[in-house]
Copies of this chain bind each other. A is one copy, B any other.
């Protein structure tokens, strides 16, 4: 089982990279056969190629991320975070609750994000 510190480090690094927007760097945090379901109820993406498409889709949007609440247990993490999207003069924010599971090396095995369009707030 990865240490709680290693899991916290992956979560923090993940949010940094989501803000920085480099898809290839984000993928280094994912195990090869990882899955992504974002938002919950959408198709589950499996493997780096499928996951690459997901992140590439919003790579070029200016973003800020902030970790609000992190809970780690076993080889899993649940966390509330803020994603602020900046488009011109307009800023909007989504605050998902995400769930991740991790392998021995604290690479992400699965990521599931709970949010819905009604959660998007114009700032």
Contacts and interface: CB of A to CB of B under 8 A. Distances in A.
A79 B79 CA distance: 10
- Residue among A69, A72, A114 having the largest count of chain B Cβ atoms under 10 Å: A114
Quickly give the copy total for this chain. 2
A81 B40 CA distance: 20
A95 B76 CA distance: 17
A114 B71 contact: yes
Given A78-B97, A80-B97, A97-B78, A114 B41 contact: no
A55 interface: no
Interface residues of A, number: 21
Nearest to A115: B71
Contact of A76 (B69, B77, B78, B114): B114
20 contacts: A39-B73, A40-B73, A40-B74, A40-B76, A41-B74, A69-B80, A69-B97, A71-B96, A71-B115, A71-B116, A71-B119, A72-B114, A73-B115, A73-B116, A78-B78, A78-B114, A79-B97, A80-B80, A97-B97, A99-B99
| Closest 5 pairs (CB-CB, A-B) | A40-B73, A71-B114, A41-B74, A78-B97, A78-B114
Given A40-B76, A71-B114, A71-B116, 10 more contacts: A40-B73, A69-B95, A69-B97, A71-B97, A72-B114, A72-B116, A77-B114, A79-B97, A80-B97, A99-B99
